[in-house]
Amino acid sequence: MNFREGMRRTGIVLGILGACAGGVLAYADASPLWQAWHEQRRLQALLATPTVRRATGVDWFAKHSPSADRRRDADARVDPSVPAGSGSRLQPRFQMSPIDPETLSVPAGSESRFQWKPIPDVGEVNRRFGERSSADQGTLYWEGIWLESFAPDANRDGISLIRYAGRTVTSLELSTGERLQLCGGGPCPVSFPRTFVVPLLFPLAGFLLPWGSLKTITWVASGFVPAKGA
């Protein structure tokens, strides 16, 4: 019986099986990375489109910088009969007259009237409202005094909403409903070696580990077997 040849063939077979197992693990590990790489390329292409470039940059944020005239409640209705001394910190709320459920009539002495509800300061609550801008060809959405997002009119680039945090774009929403997140105003970094080189090592390691292990065992065991003719 040729012990060395048998172990060599066994090592090759186990190495091939290990390489196949490593390939499966490599695919499971690399699939999310390949998807992230693809998304990165898509984002780079979208950020270079005229729609995004028009709604970003120094000139854009300078034109739409925070301003004191945005300290208002978009839903507030200014009424000339506002109580004296209240300034503009109240808004009317209409209260309907109560109706008797049995007679379906208004009880005597009750009437519909306005009540005044205080408007909280900007520092107490964020008030989001939209502002249509024909010059910008879209709708600006403000959170208090800050530009929160911009919805451009229907465009060839398929972008329906651009979200901001300060002067940085945080995400893009497409006309398909898909939302793409950004990191620091650009695509999230994806490492090329980690995405394409490391997965190739899985099948290699899957072959070398069993093959090398049997090789070592064969070499050690052969030291206890007397050579032919000895």
Q: Give the domain ranges of the chain.
A: 3-44+191-222, 77-118
**Beta partners for residue 116, in sequence order:** 92
- Side chain identity, residue 123: G
Burial class (CB in 10 A: 0-12, 13-18, 19+), 198: middle
What's the token pair of residue 152? Answer: 């451009």
**Beta partners for residue 131, in sequence order:** 140
Report the C-alpha gap between 155 and 18 in whole angstroms: 51
Selection from 41, 39, 54, 66 nearest residue 169 by Cα: 54
Q: Rounded to the nearest 5 degrees, what angle is found at the Cα of 132, between the Cα atoms of 137 and 143?
A: 115
Given this model, what pLDDT does residue 134 score?
86
What's the token pair of residue 58? Answer: 């120094």
With a threshold of 0.85, does the pTM exceed it? no
What's the token pair of residue 126? Answer: 């964020």
Question: Which strand (E) or helix (H) includes residue 28?
Answer: helix 3-47
Given this model, what pLDDT does residue 165 score?
85
Given this model, what pLDDT does residue 71 score?
46
Report the C-alpha gap between 80 and 108 in whole angstroms: 29
Q: Could you tell me the end-to-end alpha-carbon distance of the chain, in angstroms, rounded to an integer?
A: 17
Given this model, what pLDDT does residue 68 score?
46
Mean pLDDT by 10-residue block, N- to C-terminus, for the chain (230 residues)? 80 92 93 87 88 89 71 40 44 51 56 50 56 87 83 90 87 88 74 89 93 88 70
Beta strands in the chain (DSSP E): 90-95, 113-118, 128-133, 138-143, 146-152, 159-165, 168-174, 179-181
What's the token pair of residue 124? Answer: 């107490």
Given this model, what pLDDT does residue 191 score?
84
Report the C-alpha gap between 218 and 11 in whole angstroms: 10
Given this model, what pLDDT does residue 198 score?
92
Given this model, what pLDDT does residue 108 score?
58
Given this model, what pLDDT does residue 161 score?
92
Given this model, what pLDDT does residue 103 score?
56
Burial class (CB in 10 A: 0-12, 13-18, 19+), 173: middle
Given this model, what pLDDT does residue 124 score?
42
